[in-house]
Chain A
Amino acid sequence: MSPGVDVKTLVIDGKDVTGRSGQTILEIARENGIDIPTLCHLDGLGDVGACRLCLVEIKGSNKLQPACVTTVFESMEVSTQSDRLLKHRRTILELLFTERNHICSVCVANGNCELQSLGQSQGLTHVRLPYRNPDLHVDASHERFTIDHNRCILCTRCVRVCAEIEGAHVWDVMGRGIDSMIISDLNDPWGESSCTRCGKCVQVCPTGALFDKSKVGEAHPKYPDFLPYLNLMREAK
């Protein structure tokens, strides 16, 4: 073992795995083919631990911890699939589906939506909570892209990619609580903002909230895989 590399052994869902010191539970789980659902996490962006879907149980602690920001320690025992976690995940997805207006059949991201896929994989067949049906607007002022706030889940991937990778920080969050909104610049129309038109935010958006105008009416898969590559190339320089 080379000096300076500290290896930890731990157990995730009964499976013995190893990881380097400083790695997160999520990284190690995915390296070992263990699926932990995520929405706000995206490889290549800083983590905020906001969506709470990746919460896991750690033996010895009653508190649930987000796998995306919790680093591993020696002899850690992690459980990612308990009934308690599955119930919470379904309820969180339910909260998202009822928060704004998510109607898959008329959404540009239908079939390519992370929220939709998660609903299916987590067995969310119906919602029990009342729909809030908020009255939200669509900003189509940009020449290439559109933001439909009805489909936004406030994961802040767009905010982070714009600030961290593009370095423009056009997007941010306005207001608080249930009234939080993604805004460009100081709540200016997107088309009149300081946007560099790079389109990174559209590619990282997990739902149909940010989309390319030219893709309306056809399949609109997103390709966020460029991020780790971009980071690697920048670091290699």
Chain B
Amino acid sequence: MNLEELEQIAESVRQENARFDYEVNVCMGTGCLSRHSDKLKDALTEQIAAQGKNALVRRTGCMGLCAAGPLVLVDPDEILYQHVRSDDAGSVATSLGTAPVAELQCNLRDHFDQQVHIVLENSGHIDPERIDDYIARDGYQALVKALTEMTPSEVIQQIVESGLRGRGGGGYPTGLKWGTVAKAFGDTKYVICNGDEGDPGAFMDRSVLESDPQRVLEGMILAAYAVGASKGFFYVRAEYPLAVARLSACLRDARRRGLLGNGICNTPFNFDAEIRLGAGAFVCGEETALIASIEGRRGTPRPRPPYPAVSGLWGRPTLINNVETFANIAPIIRNGGKWFASIGSERSKGTKVFALTGKIKNTGLVEVPMGIKLREIIEVIGGGVPDGHTFKAVQTGGPSGGCIPAEMLDIGVSYDALLKIGSIMGSGGMIVMDDTSCMVNVARFFVEFCMTESCGKCIPCRAGTAQMYKLLTRICDGSATMDDLDLLIDLCDTVKETSLCGLGQTAPNPVLSTLKYFRNEYIDHIVHKRCPAGVCSIQSPAEVTA
């Protein structure tokens, strides 16, 4: 495979598409599929054929606005239809060449105009199971360019220049990590793609793998070339069957096209990748636990150092990056590190994909430039809180993150700014809460999550989260005293400072951040024996003393 061959494939796809007057893209991500978009696609194909329209019906990945699914995008007019049912297939087919179906049309300019799509540039536009579709949108050009024109260190240099930081949550500089693995001694090195997305309410990695798996693979191959690895693993949780199926198809097609395997693109570079399924443990998203799981051992973290970059999978130097990190690589190599660094804020470059959920109108997947105000994401892109309720807090970073109150909404989204106010960027879960949410109960929910997902290896996380849960339950049911609150704070401090891995070290964050911004709700529960949001069922004082 070389650039000319890629261009030939792209040209043949373009010619094929040009035969049609219209392209009808049907979202077949998990969200829309759950509302039978597969049947809708069949109905559309049938109706278009019956009405004799010259249109291509294409299966695509996620279009982002999951709340309005199933979604249908008609090109070249860029008309987006929402809540399309199979019964509507006839009217959509009739509308081709005439006026759009007004009652199905989705007019959310604000939602889409504020976004910048790099990771999601192909989502909703290509068939995720057709490698040629990806190639037709500049796919694998970065790989061919890197393999034929760039040395591994030049590839790393571009990543360093781009300022890309790990999208799994920690925000470690990607270029630095690649450089470390490249410099590590060893003739065998590994690359791992961490697709063990487990935060409650987060579905960024799943959507990327379902919508554009080739992009992630291209990023991984580029990484392997840069660090000198010959083998890669995609660690994807088994709860993502569609992502796994599309990734399998992606690996198969890439092998057929000579983009994976021995002598990639007719160069001496050999690299192959395979999929490993996670069995559902949240902690396996932690890199050392993930490695143990791939090795076939119990998924528990181990102390670092040594870091995986020095001693990882089977003791070899190993590069682990998140799905979204790999999805950013190909555009960076294609357009240069400087281009990427021009987007975003001072120390956080590029864009970030967020899964916007909770009490928000436009639930779904959004990609925004770093530095954008939280308020803009929630009020403009998200459309605000529905049903006349008022916004109370937004939770970022999943169980490791914190709750951000309304008065903090004007901060720009970046790794450092979120850390400063007691939350974290995390992998991209963003849960919006309104006045019907009790913040003590929210903290209890996340602590319960950490308690059940703790691996049980170290004492502070295993027993500490269980005790935190117990104390929070007391507060929620109104039987706690102010001493219990002091004890909880004291315990949070020990769990945070002494736990072995990130899961335990960050487990107190939801408690600490809600205590910081919503302390009065804790006091209401403990002293006044009432839950302001009316969520917790508190016994009357008489019952408590009885």
Distance (whole angstroms) from the CB of A213 to the closest CB of chain B: 28
| Chain A hits for B459, CB < 8 A | 50-52, 92, 95-96, 99, 153-154
| Chain B hits for A114, CB < 8 A | none
Distance (whole angstroms) from the CB of B472 to the closest CB of chain A: 12
A137 to B484, CA, bound (A): 30
The reply on A59 being an interface residue by CB < 8 A is: no
Whether A64 pairs with B497 at a CB distance below 8 angstroms is yes
Interface size on A, residues (CB 8 A): 33
A215 to B465, CA, bound (A): 36
Whether A49 pairs with B494 at a CB distance below 8 angstroms is no
A201 to B487, CA, bound (A): 36
Contact with A along B443-473 (1 / 0, CB 8 A): 0000000011111111111111111001100
The reply on A179 being an interface residue by CB < 8 A is: yes
Interface centre among A130, A132, A176, A179 (most CB of B within 10 A): A176
Distance (whole angstroms) from the CB of B185 to the closest CB of chain A: 16
Main secondary structure of the interface of B (DSSP, over half): helix
Interchain CB contact (< 8 A) of A50 among B454, B465, B500: B500
| Chain B hits for A129, CB < 8 A | 467, 487, 491
Whether B454 pairs with A177 at a CB distance below 8 angstroms is yes
Whether B462 pairs with A52 at a CB distance below 8 angstroms is no
| Chain B hits for A36, CB < 8 A | none
CB-CB nearest in chain B for A69: B303
Interchain CB contact (< 8 A) of B456 among A55, A92, A175: A175
Whether A95 pairs with B281 at a CB distance below 8 angstroms is no
| Chain A hits for B455, CB < 8 A | 176-177, 180
A51 to B456, CA, bound (A): 11
The reply on B499 being an interface residue by CB < 8 A is: yes
The reply on A208 being an interface residue by CB < 8 A is: no
CB-CB nearest in chain A for B298: A173
The reply on B498 being an interface residue by CB < 8 A is: yes
| Chain B hits for A88, CB < 8 A | 494, 497-498
A136 to B453, CA, bound (A): 21
The reply on B302 being an interface residue by CB < 8 A is: yes
Distance (whole angstroms) from the CB of A118 to the closest CB of chain B: 12
A55 to B457, CA, bound (A): 15
Chain B residues proximal to chain A, CB less than 8 Å:
281, 283, 298, 302-303, 451-467, 470-471, 487, 490-491, 494, 497-500
Give me 18 other A-B pairs in contact (C-beta within 8 A), A52-B499, A176-B455 excluded: A49-B303, A51-B458, A52-B498, A52-B500, A64-B498, A92-B498, A98-B463, A99-B466, A129-B467, A129-B487, A130-B471, A154-B462, A176-B456, A177-B452, A177-B453, A177-B456, A178-B462, A180-B462
User: Can you list 12 contacts pairing A with B, beta carbon distance less than 8 Å?
Assistant: A48-B303, A51-B459, A64-B497, A88-B498, A92-B460, A95-B459, A99-B462, A130-B471, A154-B462, A176-B454, A177-B451, A177-B452
* 4 residue pairs, one from A and one from B, having the closest CB atoms: A180-B456, A177-B454, A49-B303, A95-B463
